[in-house]
Structure 1
Amino acid sequence: MSTVVGNRPALTWAVHLAVLFLVALWTLPTLGILVSSLRDKDQLAVSGWWTALTASERNIVARAAPPDEAEEEDGRWVLKGNVFEGSGGKAAAFGVSSREPSAFAVDETAELRDGATVTVAANGDYVVAYPQKPEGNRGQRIFVSSVEPPRFTTENYENVLFSEGLGKSFINTMTVTIPATVIPILIAAYAAYALAWMEFPGRALLLATIVGLLVVPLQMSLIPLLRLYNEVGIGKSFIGIWLAHTGFGLPLAIYLLRNYMAGLPREIIESAKVDGASDFEIFRKIILPLSFPALASFAIFQFLWTWNDLLVATVFLGNNEEQLVLTGRLRELLGSRGGNWEILTASAFVAIIVPILVFFAMQRYLVRGLLAGSVKGG
């Protein structure tokens, strides 16, 4: 059906496609991190996560056993072994020189300068044969192009959780995040009710100040606030970072909750006052239950912001091993283990799994709270 704004089915399809695109844009990287964190580190280093379910090609360099370990068989001195050393794989080609690493097909015989020969089977078994008893303790290099089946492992998570100190950082992050989410909500709920339903001088000016604080960069206050904390003795402590996150989150919390509470039906508040209810009773028994969507909306925002924070945690907690948060731990892993993608992906997924669970558990309240707060107010 056509309307003033155009064809309604076309607009509906456009909205659906846009939503699907945004969902895919958010989901695919998360799926990639999860798959990569479960892959074998050797395969992860040479192929992308989207190839995780297919066989992967890999070039390896193996070294045969030392020549002095050769055993005599039918007049020749023979060394035997496997180029994969028990890790599994299927050889596609091999070579004895770095210039031609795939010069020979499997089961072919490659001849060396001293009359020795090298043969590699598809399963990786090799045979190096010498015409006479060899000497030396340095084995022949064998270059192999292999096709390996997909391999998945939980070893990456075991290394992260039990060897990299991430477990302690996880607890530290929870210690920071939960109080830094609950405290601003408690304070902001009282302030929002006062600004929405209580008459007092300077209310409009106070509300305008809170709105103005929304655009003030928190970086401006980091150093002065840290100096103040050091003077009163709470610098580099959990109490200090709780108060810092509370101060940085209060303007948004008060703004969201005040707009939501101001849009609640006035008749309910007036009826409660006629029945003799005090402001505290109205707030506790009427306003708080009705404002749960707005409270949940801010809780999601504050939790995600605090959980993913690195700047404030670095300033107010530092890099002390006993107080290092998850984002700080990941930064250290990235600095010292830039090539260990299996460690980084496992660490990253451990860090984001809690925010993902929180978001999906409370996302229905997020939209309700934000929409109500954006169109109502007085």
Structure 2
Amino acid sequence: MPTSARLTRFLSALLLGCLLLVCPRPGSAQNSAQIERLKEQVEANPDDARSAYNLGTMLIQARRLEEAAEFLTMATERDPEMGPAHYNLGLVLRDLKRPDEAAAALQRATEIAPENDAAWINLAGVHQSQGKFEAAADAYRQAAQAKPGNVEAQFGLAWMLLQCGRKDEAEDQYHVLAALDQGRADNLYDQYRNAEGAAPPAAPANDLLGAVQAGDQEAVSRLLQEGADPNQKDGKGTPALHLAIKAKAAPVVSLLIQARAALDSRDALNRAPLHVAAWENDPESARLLLEAGAAVDVPGFDSPADGPSESTPLIIAAQSGALETAEILIKAGAQVNALTNVRDGLFRRSALFWALKENHPEVAALLEKHGAEKFPPGATQN
């Protein structure tokens, strides 16, 4: 298949995965019902790879990883050329602590779409976690070739070259990195200097993301002290702070904030950390962010279907049914009648509108108690 066709197919499937991000929250009755309907589709269509892939992706959102691995594997068997299925399978297997299988799935994803730098970076991370530094260096190099401006790839390559004892090549790579991001280059230098003579050497900065996702407070603290960048992002553009909130790891969130992680950083969906805390219903992380100075009404969230929405965290909390986080936001002064702004004002919705639409009566009652209106001035009346 021509490269352009592979890329088009890959991006199309990824878009379907992104659309699942706006599905109901994991564990909700509606979400469970959708999963059961998809299972019926998979059983009724034994040759349909797409339904198995969609089911696997939804199970990831529900954090049912063992089942997700099963159906993503089924998708790859039904369509061996479905790159996103191999890619997401690799990520799931990595999270399930099955690194050899994860590496195989990610390797296949890179074979199908060699221009996918995120697949190369995650493959490098798996090799790195196993101490396979040469293989990790090769994967980082491929990611850098696929996207020369990818700072994480350039940083990872430089670090792995150092771990392999290839100092001359690492020095050349340092200059490449410095041309892209002098701060990360300085971080690399400091990290290497701190690791000189140590056994084992200091963990590479990419390990911070793994420690954050695992909620490993001790490892995160150590890595930050060794100079790891608290603002680094994973291959999907998700900052460390967002990952910590998704992991419900408030102590790690606190460590990142203390290390000056940006409170207004954005992920691929243009969500600030407070939006993620609202979506995940993580009131403790929301409190930490607000106490550190995060803007309570920060607008954000670009819907894969409708584009920029300018939703406040309270609106996100209303959509997701995050009662405890909504209470924290309101106490912090959130505007209960703030409106979304979708498609240049075509749709302007309130938090109460979304709480009622998504059937979250407790959140709706909380909003009404504090003076919220379903259709405040300026709202779309339908």
- Structure whose CA Rg is larger: 1
Q: TM exceeds 0.5?
A: no
Calculate the TM-score normalised by the size of structure 2. 0.23
- Of structures 1 and 2, the one scoring higher in RCO (CA 8 A, sep 6+) is 1
Which structure has the highest helix share of the two?
2
